[in-house]
């Protein structure tokens, strides 16, 4: 497919971080100054996840009040609509924006307000995934998830676990997500991005409906087959994964392996601004690098809708818009 065809293709995205996907225009309006490209995005020679994460400081400063959070929600849907993303699940960590004057509930409501305004203006359907952070206490993460659960079906669609995976393995969060499951709150979990394959095994054991990244499954065909059989979604973010050195080189990236095993792979941006990417760019990259065919791109869009934390009504509409059979 040409770049124009990829851009025009109706798309669904499941793994996009709000703070890593804010436009330069938004940040300049919030900060009241010019922002240089190197302040926003990693360079082609990014060496590690730690270097990658340095780029989150600036956008983090822009979402510390209700006005900034609402504008951020609107901004990300505006950007997505420019490349015909019809459905997006946007994730963020409410506790990172809490202040003495703005509690978790106010943070979530501000983002939802901006996203709802964006949906009205741009027609992109959304769901919010609230991220627990690995470095936060179980008490704080539990409090956030219980608060977010009140908004399930009212904009919030799921929970997640994000942060430094290698330092905080999934085994430390089993109780938190067993409790989340008891609340009947769906969740996806970052696992196997830079850690051990055991994090993926534990995430599935905890009840994750999807896995964020999942790269550590490479070569573990028995685990891949189990997840394929269970229909668990794998949210792959190719450009980000290469930038953070989840794999050492493009030749080691397991997208073809995962597709061949029958895993429900979707393609995502992770962080549009930090990675200087878009869904169109991701699709063009995998097409050019891995020989991904048009029917495989359409299959991965179907996988995204199949594994989305959306209502049956929204899914039916998306299958129709994307021209695929549910």
Nearest to 8 by CA among 64, 65, 72, 81: 81
* Annotated catalytic residue, options 13, 125, 193, 282: 193
Return d(Cα 126, Cα 120) in angstroms, integer.
11
Query: Is 89 a known active-site residue?
Result: no
| Residue 251: Cβ-neighbour burial (10 angstroms; 0-12, 13-18, 19+) | exposed
Enzyme catalytic residues: 193
């Amino acid at each position: 497919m040409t770049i124009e065809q990829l851009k025009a293709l109706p798309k669904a995205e499941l793994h996009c971080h709000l703070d890593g996907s804010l436009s330069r225009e938004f940040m300049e309006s919030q900060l009241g100054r010019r922002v240089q490209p190197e302040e926003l995005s990693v360079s082609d020679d990014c060496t590690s996840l730690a270097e990658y994460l340095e780029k989150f400081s600036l956008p983090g400063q822009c979402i510390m009040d209700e006005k900034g959070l609402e504008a951020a929600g609107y901004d990300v849907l505006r950007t997505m609509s420019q490349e015909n993303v019809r459905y997006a699940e946007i994730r963020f960590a409410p506790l990172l924006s809490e202040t003495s004057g703005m509690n978790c509930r106010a943070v979530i409501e501000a983002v939802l307000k901006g996203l709802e305004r964006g949906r009205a203006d741009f027609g992109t359907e959304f769901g919010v995934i609230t991220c627990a952070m690995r470095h936060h206490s179980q008490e704080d993460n539990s409090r956030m998830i219980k608060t977010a659960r009140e908004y399930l079906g009212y904009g919030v669609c799921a929970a997640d676990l994000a942060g430094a995976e290698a330092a905080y393995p999934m085994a430390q969060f089993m109780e938190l997500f067993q409790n989340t499951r008891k609340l009947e709150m769906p969740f996806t979990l970052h696992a196997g991005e830079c850690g051990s394959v055991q994090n993926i095994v534990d995430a599935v054991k905890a009840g994750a409906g999807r896995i964020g990244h999942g790269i550590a499954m490479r070569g573990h065909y028995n685990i891949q087959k189990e997840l394929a059989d269970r229909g668990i979604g794998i949210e792959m973010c190719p450009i980000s994964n290469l930038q953070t050195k989840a794999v050492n080189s493009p030749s080691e990236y397991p997208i073809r392996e995962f597709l061949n095993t029958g895993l429900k792979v979707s393609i995502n941006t992770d962080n549009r601004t930090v990675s200087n990417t878009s869904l169109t760019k991701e699709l063009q990259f995998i097409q050019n690098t891995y020989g991904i065919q048009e029917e495989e791109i359409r299959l991965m869009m179907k996988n995204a809708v199949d594994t989305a934390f959306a209502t049956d009504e929204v899914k039916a509409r998306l299958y129709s818009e994307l021209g695929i059979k549910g």
